[in-house]
Amino acid sequence: MNDPIISIRMPSGMVEEVKRLSAERHFLDMSEALRSIIRNKWIKSAGISLKYINGVENRRR
């Protein structure tokens, strides 16, 4: 897999909020929580149908 790796800086309050969210939603770590947040925002902003996304995910497996 050739996915790029990125590094981000966040205010300490935001880091604490992401840590809380990670534990609350049972994510393995902060990066998984951030990927979920980014993916959900992308889906909403792009107006992409969840049925389409689920179909793509199912075909990848």
Mean pLDDT, residues 11-29 taken together: 93
Answer whether 27's CB lies under 8 Å from 36's CB.
Answer: yes
Q: Is 80 exceeded by the pLDDT of residue 13?
A: yes
What is this structure's pTM?
0.63
Q: Is 90 exceeded by the pLDDT of residue 14?
A: yes
**Would you state the pLDDT for residue 51?**
65
Mean pLDDT, residues 43-58 taken together: 69
Answer whether 15's CB lies under 8 Å from 31's CB.
Answer: no
Query: How far apart are the C-alpha atoms of 14 and 7, rounded to whole Å?
Result: 15
Answer whether 18's CB lies under 8 Å from 30's CB.
Answer: yes
